[in-house]
Chains A and B, each alone.
Chain A
Amino acid sequence: METSSEFPVSLDNSALNARQRWRMIKDRVAHHAVGLGGVGVIIAILLIFFYLLYVVFPLFLPASITKLNSYPVPGGTEAKSLHVALEESATMAVRYTNGGDAVFFDTGSGEVNTTIPLWEGDVRSIAVDSTGSGLVALGLEDGSALVVQHRFNVSYPDDLRTVTPEIEYPYGPEPLRIADEGVLLEQLVLTDTDRRLLLAGVADDGWVRLAAFDKKSSFISDEVTLKRNAGVVETAGVAPAFVRVSPNQKRLYIAREDGTLLHYGVQDPRKPELLETVALTDNGVELTSLEFLLGGFSLLAGDSEGRLSQWFPVRDEQNRYHLERVRGFEFQGAPITGIEPEKRRKGFLASDSEGRLGIYHSTAERTLLLDRVVDSRIRNLALSPRANRLLVEDTRGNTHIWSVDNEHPEVSWSSLWGKVHYEGYDESLYTWQSSASTNDFEPKFSLMPLAFGTLKAAFYAMLMAMPLAIFGAIYTAYFMAPKMRSVVKPTIEIMEALPTVILGFLAGLWLAPIMEQHLPGIFMLLLIVPLGVLLFAFAWRQLPGSIRRLVPEGWEGLLLIPVVLFLGWLAIALSVPVEIWLFGGNMPQWLTNELGISFDQRNSLVIGLAMGFAVIPTIFSITEDAIFSVPKHLTFGSLALGATPWQTLTRVVILTASPGIFSAVMIGMGRAVGETMIVLMATGNTPIMDFSIFEGMRTLAANIAVEMPESEVDSTHYRILFLAALVLFLFTFVVNTVAELVRHRLRRKYSSL
């Protein structure tokens, strides 16, 4: 009895207690750590989706504006503003008045920085270079114009950004003569190229006067001498309300108040040639505003009913250009008083007589904002070059500065997925062209050709992979001898891990040239191999049993390997004779010449084979599992009732396993859709929309791989590539989820059987 009390069974031993507590703490800590870690990892995975969404989201936000400040028009209202322009970062602005002054002022406070007198007398009209160079022509009373250029020189003394305004006279301080002495000019226009300065205006006789100044730079100094050529356009009767010359100085547009537009060619400014007459507005509606969109190709017209429309020359069948209405924009309600195009994008602003402002984008056909900014009429509208600051001058003598948040106007549902009539094109098209060398380029962000290419590539891949993988899986799971199956299955499955870059490399550099060489052979393979296999099977059946028994049941696959090899060799060997016999020795050329089908070496056929190869293991493996796990008592029952193995297969096994096969196809398709390297390497990556098997494509994934490294962070292009990734993500995710759910249901069904 005494020994038992010494035996350490007492549970309130304090050391043991401490240890127990320590174990509990550890358990609790482990619990929380694992919970935290697990949830963390799952959140991190889900983060992918939300991050993609987060990057894409701003694309679809409308524009917004906020008023920064208001002040009386700097420099007073005795002289009216003719034109206002903002500096790059919108800290300073310049205001040209009809008193002949250029008033530079600080946009933050409205304080005048400098006033530079340009001309002593009255200024009748003003013309501004539409390329944003700061070149301005002031129309004087005597039919001449003074050309000046304002500059905002930026320097950083003591790390502080300081803007110093400056006025230059690039063509000398003397006014240039446009019309003869004593003619008053209204509606002045100015365009400037490397070779020619062109000025035009409407004289008080209602005729348009043109003056072209050809530039000749002297060899010794930088001095430029001008040679004047003048012309007159007789506009019968009514005085022109608007005169516009395209920046390339080829087209002259003269519009009357009733909306009639006369389109002249001014290759030779001395002899303008009338090309056509177009009605820009409906009957009885006044044309109130006419401006060029960035690039000077499109015209924007605003009318007295508050409608806006875009027009540009479109080529017809006779190869002649006609001005056509391309698209209209949302009704603004009150007469349009002014249009201000953006300086770096194909967007524009419009103001109306009730003080409303609309922000639009032409390609996207999008109204980004429509809001009342002032109570009175808007007299002048100026947008900073970066399109993030807006200056509004109303008729009550106040200037307002607004901040504009309009990062991605180019994107709309129609510009991403619809046909768009781009500038310079004859018709509406699906086009992807994200960048070009020029500044005034219209980006073409249609995802349709890419989505189409993706599906086309997947289609051809599935066309190749589905029969091979599914039939192969059926045989492997149902007919093949177990011993052979244990080798075949891992062999095919291991190919799933084969890097696709290797497949792409072989497809592009090895397979594509071979296929071009043996094109008829490739098509003959489709015919010769199945027929040959059948023929062999039939012949085999006729053999005496003693030979047939040498190959036990379930080993036909092995027996067929040399047969298929021979048939394949036969098809390729016959290729050249057939090519000589039927296609004049060169099938690709024959296709192009005789059928008019263009042939790319890296085409969909190559993609189908290579990507089909990549997809086969995925489909094979899942299908095989589905068929193999069909309960054996079902098949035994069917066979016992006297069905042949083939009947059992088609009426019992396949039906039971069909959801599994369906999910295998879905998962295979998901893989084909997202595959990048094979498509990147084995096609020409041209974003075309064509079903032809002899042409390539560009897929969403390959497009991301090609363009992502070059796109600027947070630009529209960058976000659209993210959108492409999001589309891929959602597509594969949905497809896989459906497949997975089907498979789950199948598994439940089996377990109930």
Chain B
Amino acid sequence: MRQNVKSWFREGTPWIWLNAGAVSISIIMVAGLLLLIAYQGLGHFWPKAVLETDYRQPGGDRVRVIGEIHDTESVPVERFTGTGVEFPEGQEMVTRLLVKTGNRDVGGLDFRWLVESRMEDVRYPDQLMVLERREWGNFYGFIKSVREQGDIVTRGEGAWEELQARLERVERLHAEIKTLEKDRIGTINYQLEQLRLEKRGLELEGMSPEMAAAAIADERSVLEARYGKLETELNALYEASNRDSLTAVTMSGAETDVPLGQVVRAYRPNAMGPFDKVGFYLAKIREFVSDDPREANTEGGIFPAIFGTVMMVILMSILVTPFGVVAAIYLREYAKQGPLVRIIRIAVNNLAGVPSIVYGVFGLGFFVYFLGGNIDQLFFPEALPAPTFGTPGILWASLTLALLTVPVVIVATEEGLSRVPSSIREGSLALGATKAETLWKTILPMASPAMMTGLILAVARAAGEVAPLMLVGVVKLAPSLAVDGNMPFLHLERKFMHLGFHIYDVGFQSPNVEAARPLVYATALLLVLVIIVLNLGAIAIRNRLRERYRALEH
């Protein structure tokens, strides 16, 4: 046996196994990470059962607790020393549950840790209702009655159906409010701001303030009149949406009124069948990708972040492709190959390894303060001292990321160009084509998949980069998108939201991290999916490209 082990070691086989172990660990980590994100991200939207239980508190009192189980863990008994919770002698481990009890406006706490062994009579009544609200998080309780203008309309069993019907009405009203606020009033506000700037511009041209005011007075009064009308309309809508309310019993037994205007969605998870749950799940996913965030980004959707990310990436691609390709063509086809070009090539290559935050610092200093500041002086003096381009915004973010990713495009394009066999180049030139024609008609088409690969890799890198964006344009909540219905439709100076920054912000800066965490997982999943798809695309294109040249080489 001993001889056996010794020779085994001498062969070196154990080390090979250890090396194999390293690969296995890496694979497990990668796969585990993706599975973790997928599980946590996808699970969030599934309606969770809501339990009702009597909980024995350390003092001996029994209280009713209603909520969703959020997390389970088992900890040694020692961690409870000093909390007043006692356990039978000899017990070593304690299972405790993190229960989301909601009703933050009533109880103050969203989450509680409960010790499992002290939970008695755990039940899942069908009647338990969950309300998703616009403020204060979820509400858990039993419905008692529905009121209109404070008067009870329905009570008892029928109240649930009545509630659903009335919620539909409220939802319609809210959609109207949203269009009114965002589109129509937003447009008027925008035009008023433009008028103010116009007036200031006239003053800067030497007109007296009175004359400048007179010049815009007509337009201004028209807009203000329209604004007044819309405001009355809006107030009427708000009043209508607050007409109804419901009364519900919370876990402490208290009755609470919830105005229906506050309710986004009401459901009874314990009474749902599998199909209801799937429907609910899909509806939640739709809300997630297409709605605006609520409650400091911890609830609702992430549409503005998706929009901001895509918008920024598109702008970046528009900027990075021509420049990257031209630089690559220059380096490979036009520049005299020598030590200088080799140094430049190494330098460009290495810039891809420079930390992204350095690009952020450069973007802030050069683009935002230097370029933006000068642009403001030259073209937007009427808005000063409020900066227009002299402040972080989507244009500067895109430019910074374009600079960050241009080495990727250059390297990929150069590689593609170098793979084009020189016989093709020479053949074209021998047929009398000029260099430009050779390039345009033969080489570039053949290198185009390489450019695509470079661009996709650049996009994948840009989409996941957060650190530089924190300096040059990302905000936690952008009041308006960079594209809207107001002239000139594309507002490059605006700040924007971003999926990656959303993760950082909601996960670390939000007041209620525990409640927001599932949403962060879902956002992370979305981002990972986008990036993996882009990368797989790049790999597929690269492989196809290789096949193509393999055919050419023979």
Residue numbers of A with Cβ under 8 A of B are 23-24, 26-27, 29-31, 33-35, 37-42, 44-48, 51-52, 55, 467-472, 474-476, 479-480, 488, 490-492, 494-495, 497-502, 504-506, 508-510, 517, 529-530, 533-534, 536-538, 541, 556-561, 563-565, 568, 576-577, 579-580, 584-586, 613, 616, 620, 644-647, 649-650, 667, 670-671, 673-677, 680-681, 701, 704-705, 708-709, 713, 721-722, 725, 728-729, 732-733, 735-737, 740-741, 744
User: 24 A–B contact pairs at CB < 8 A?
Assistant: A34-B330, A41-B406, A48-B362, A48-B403, A51-B362, A51-B365, A480-B23, A492-B27, A497-B532, A499-B466, A499-B500, A504-B504, A534-B14, A537-B17, A538-B14, A559-B20, A580-B78, A681-B508, A701-B355, A708-B364, A708-B471, A732-B350, A732-B354, A733-B350
B25 contacts A564, C-beta separation under 8 Å? yes
Q: Report the separation of the CA atoms of residues A559 and B20 in the bound assembly, to the nearest whole angstrom.
A: 9
Q: Report the separation of the CA atoms of residues A195 and B428 in the bound assembly, to the nearest whole angstrom.
A: 92
B437 contacts A508, C-beta separation under 8 Å? no
B465 contacts A499, C-beta separation under 8 Å? yes
Taking CB atoms, residues of chain B closer than 8 Å to A480 are 23
Is B463 among interface residues, defined by CB-CB distance under 8 A?
yes
Q: Report the separation of the CA atoms of residues A47 and B351 in the bound assembly, to the nearest whole angstrom.
A: 12
Q: Mark B518-552, 1 if CB is under 8 A from A, else 0.
A: 00100010011001101110010000000000000
Q: Report the separation of the CA atoms of residues A74 and B196 in the bound assembly, to the nearest whole angstrom.
A: 49
Task: Tell which of B28-36, B240-248, B264-272 binds the partner.
Answer: B28-36
**Chain B contact residues, majority secondary structure:** helix
Q: Report the separation of the CA atoms of residues A348 and B472 in the bound assembly, to the nearest whole angstrom.
A: 37
B21 contacts A560, C-beta separation under 8 Å? yes
B36 contacts A510, C-beta separation under 8 Å? yes
- Tell which of B28, B360, B466 has the most Cβ of chain A within 10 Å: B466
Known: A667-B353, A701-B355. A650 touches B12 (CB 8 A): yes
Cβ distance B407 to chain A, nearest Cβ, rounded Å: 7
A506 contacts B23, C-beta separation under 8 Å? no
- Tell which of A33, A491, A505, A722 has the most Cβ of chain B within 10 Å: A505
Which one, B17, B362, B501, B513, contacts A533 given CB within 8 A?
B17
- Tell which of B16, B323, B331, B535 has the most Cβ of chain A within 10 Å: B16
User: Which chain A residue shows the least CB distance to B30?
Assistant: A495
B531 contacts A497, C-beta separation under 8 Å? yes
Which one, B26, B362, B467, contacts A468 given CB within 8 A?
B26
A41 contacts B324, C-beta separation under 8 Å? yes
B19 contacts A472, C-beta separation under 8 Å? yes
Is B388 among interface residues, defined by CB-CB distance under 8 A?
no
Known: A495-B30, A501-B500. A509 touches B16 (CB 8 A): no
Known: A23-B437, A537-B17. A557 touches B23 (CB 8 A): yes
Is B251 among interface residues, defined by CB-CB distance under 8 A?
no
7 other A-B residue contacts (CB within 8 Å) besides A557-B20, A650-B12: A23-B437, A40-B323, A41-B323, A41-B326, A501-B500, A506-B36, A708-B364
User: Which chain A residue shows the least CB distance to B75?
Assistant: A517
Residue numbers of B with Cβ under 8 A of A are 5, 8, 11-31, 33, 36-37, 73-79, 92-93, 322-324, 326-327, 329-331, 333-335, 344, 346-351, 353-362, 364-366, 369, 403, 406-407, 410, 434-437, 439-440, 457, 460-461, 463-467, 470-471, 500-501, 503-504, 507-508, 513, 517, 520, 524, 527-528, 531-532, 534-536, 539
Q: Report the separation of the CA atoms of residues A127 and B283 in the bound assembly, to the nearest whole angstrom.
A: 76
B22 contacts A502, C-beta separation under 8 Å? no
Closest 8 CB pairs of A and B: A38-B330, A646-B12, A674-B355, A585-B78, A499-B464, A30-B436, A676-B467, A37-B326
Taking CB atoms, residues of chain A closer than 8 Å to B507 are 505, 508-509, 681
A709 contacts B434, C-beta separation under 8 Å? no
Q: Report the separation of the CA atoms of residues A713 and B513 in the bound assembly, to the nearest whole angstrom.
A: 33
Cβ distance B70 to chain A, nearest Cβ, rounded Å: 14
- Tell which of B93, B330, B357, B520 has the most Cβ of chain A within 10 Å: B357
Known: A505-B503, A644-B12, A671-B353. A498 touches B366 (CB 8 A): no
Q: Report the separation of the CA atoms of residues A492 and B24 in the bound assembly, to the nearest whole angstrom.
A: 11
A34 contacts B355, C-beta separation under 8 Å? no
Taking CB atoms, residues of chain A closer than 8 Å to B74 are 576
Q: Report the separation of the CA atoms of residues A673 and B539 in the bound assembly, to the nearest whole angstrom.
A: 28
B36 contacts A34, C-beta separation under 8 Å? no
Cβ distance B430 to chain A, nearest Cβ, rounded Å: 16
Which one, B76, B329, B501, contacts A579 given CB within 8 A?
B76
User: Which chain B residue shows the least CB distance to A555?
Assistant: B20
Known: A38-B327, A45-B406, A48-B403. A491 touches B27 (CB 8 A): yes
A501 contacts B464, C-beta separation under 8 Å? yes
Q: Report the separation of the CA atoms of residues A518 and B31 in the bound assembly, to the nearest whole angstrom.
A: 21
Cβ distance A581 to chain B, nearest Cβ, rounded Å: 10
Taking CB atoms, residues of chain A closer than 8 Å to B36 are 506, 510
Taking CB atoms, residues of chain B closer than 8 Å to A529 are 21, 25
Known: A500-B464, A704-B357, A736-B353. A31 touches B365 (CB 8 A): no
B434 contacts A26, C-beta separation under 8 Å? yes
Cβ distance B366 to chain A, nearest Cβ, rounded Å: 5
B350 contacts A740, C-beta separation under 8 Å? yes
A34 contacts B358, C-beta separation under 8 Å? no
User: Which chain B residue shows the least CB distance to A674?
Assistant: B355
B73 contacts A471, C-beta separation under 8 Å? no
Taking CB atoms, residues of chain A closer than 8 Å to B435 are 27, 30-31
Cβ distance A412 to chain B, nearest Cβ, rounded Å: 22
A472 contacts B79, C-beta separation under 8 Å? no
User: Which chain B residue shows the least CB distance to A735?
Assistant: B353
B504 contacts A677, C-beta separation under 8 Å? yes
B527 contacts A705, C-beta separation under 8 Å? no
A586 contacts B79, C-beta separation under 8 Å? yes
Q: Report the separation of the CA atoms of residues A500 and B524 in the bound assembly, to the nearest whole angstrom.
A: 11
Which one, B13, B15, B369, B434, contacts A23 given CB within 8 A?
B434
Taking CB atoms, residues of chain B closer than 8 Å to A560 are 17, 20-21, 23-24
B467 contacts A467, C-beta separation under 8 Å? no
Known: A30-B439, A497-B531, A674-B358. A38 touches B23 (CB 8 A): no
User: Which chain A residue shows the least CB distance to B325?
Assistant: A37
A533 contacts B28, C-beta separation under 8 Å? no
